[in-house]
């Protein structure tokens, strides 16, 4: 296990076998692609079955996220450069205390109210004219999730999102599990940077075994212009820095009703 810390990179996903403690660790870097994470879980499951079959040893699979490593992972792999759970908790506590002090100091500052002048008649007419032009453009724009992309007066054009930013937001959405209160829904689609993402399942070979690989890919087929009504769906938004970064479309999962056997004369249901 010496020098293994050098392989734990932010864009990598590693499967680490520790037979001494019966563990299969899946290390997931903070910037690792989603596809690698899906494939690693499949491969780890296959390795787990192979170890039971060939060595008679049952290994527990433990997923490890970078910056959130459990203590057993740090101890078993002798990772001296990674902070323990207690150390990370202490850092968070100190940061919270510093933020509280800044907020308290800010609240003690006196409020300064500047005298505002009433707008002149000419500026009011000009603002009304600009607003009318912008509303005319907004009315003719396509319906979409997110802000109107046509450039109006005083409204900057939407900046494009890099592939790296897309991947980071996609990872953040897929990493976040749905709440237990929403156990009857599943992710159907994602909307990111004005693009629709769909769940794609493919078959691949891993150690000569057919494995189903799941990934989220951008839907490249043309969408029909106009309004789209989505029935019987739930919407969840990812908001960061007061902006909508992603939209999840959640589809209800059909609940199978238990089959009640027919009752006849003399039978108790």
Q: So what's the pLDDT on residue 68?
A: 92
Q: Does domain 4-88 have CATH number 3.40.20.10?
A: yes
Confidence of residue 203 (pLDDT cuts 50, 70, 90): confident
Phi then psi for residue 268, to 5 deg, are -100, 125
Q: So what's the pLDDT on residue 154?
A: 40
Higher pLDDT: 230 or 129? It is: 230
| For the ranges 2-11, 106-115, 209-218, the one whose mean pLDDT is highest | 2-11
| 167, 33 contact by CB (below 8 A) | yes
Order across the sheet with 243-252: list the strands: 209-218, 195-206, 185-192, 243-252, 234-240
Is the pLDDT score of 180 beyond 60?
yes
Confidence of residue 207 (pLDDT cuts 50, 70, 90): low
Indicate the angle between helix axes 163-175 and 34-55, nearest 10 degrees.
Answer: 50
Question: pLDDT tens, 127-139?
Answer: 556 555 555 555 5
Residue 58 burial (10 A CB sphere; 0-12, 13-18, 19+): exposed
Q: What's the N-to-C CA distance of the chain in angstroms?
A: 61
Mean pLDDT score across all residues of the chain: 77
What stretch(es) of the chain map to CATH 3.40.20.10?
Answer: 4-88
Is the pLDDT score of 9 beyond 70?
yes
Is the pLDDT score of 155 beyond 50?
no
Confidence of residue 99 (pLDDT cuts 50, 70, 90): confident
Range name among 6-10, 55-59, 142-146 with the lowest pLDDT average: 142-146
What does the alpha-carbon distance between residue 173 and residue 140 come to, in Å, rounded to a whole number? 32
Cα Rg of the chain, angstroms: 27
What does the alpha-carbon distance between residue 160 and residue 168 come to, in Å, rounded to a whole number? 15
| For the ranges 8-22, 130-144, 153-167, 186-200, the one whose mean pLDDT is highest | 8-22
Range name among 32-41, 112-121, 199-208 with the lowest pLDDT average: 112-121
């Amino acid at each position: 296990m010496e020098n293994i810390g050098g392989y734990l990179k932010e864009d990598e996903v590693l499967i680490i076998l520790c037979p001494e403690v019966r563990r299969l660790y899946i290390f997931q870097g903070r910037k690792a692609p989603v596809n690698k994470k899906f494939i690693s879980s499949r491969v780890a499951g296959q390795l787990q079955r192979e170890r039971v079959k060939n060595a008679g040893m049952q290994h527990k699979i433990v997923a490890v996220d970078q910056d959130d490593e459990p203590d057993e992972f740090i101890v078993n792999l002798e990772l001296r450069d990674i902070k323990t759970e207690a150390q990370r908790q202490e850092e968070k506590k100190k940061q919270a205390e510093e933020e509280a002090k800044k907020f308290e100091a800010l609240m003690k500052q006196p409020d300064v109210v500047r005298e505002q002048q009433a707008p002149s008649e000419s500026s009011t007419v000009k603002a009304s004219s600009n607003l009318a032009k912008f509303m005319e453009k907004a009315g003719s724009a396509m319906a979409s999730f997110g802000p109107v992309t046509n450039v109006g007066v005083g409204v900057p054009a939407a900046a494009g999102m890099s592939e790296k930013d897309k991947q980071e937001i996609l990872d953040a959405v897929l990493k976040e599990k749905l709440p237990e209160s929403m156990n009857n829904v599943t992710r159907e689609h994602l909307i990111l940077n004005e693009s629709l993402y769909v769940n794609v399942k493919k078959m691949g070979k891993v150690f000569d075994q057919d494995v189903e690989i799941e990934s989220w890919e951008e839907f490249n087929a043309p969408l029909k212009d106009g309004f789209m009504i989505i029935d019987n769906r739930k919407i969840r938004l990812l908001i960061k820095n007061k902006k909508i970064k992603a939209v999840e479309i959640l589809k209800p999962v059909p609940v199978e009703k238990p089959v009640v056997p027919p009752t006849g004369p003399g039978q108790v249901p």
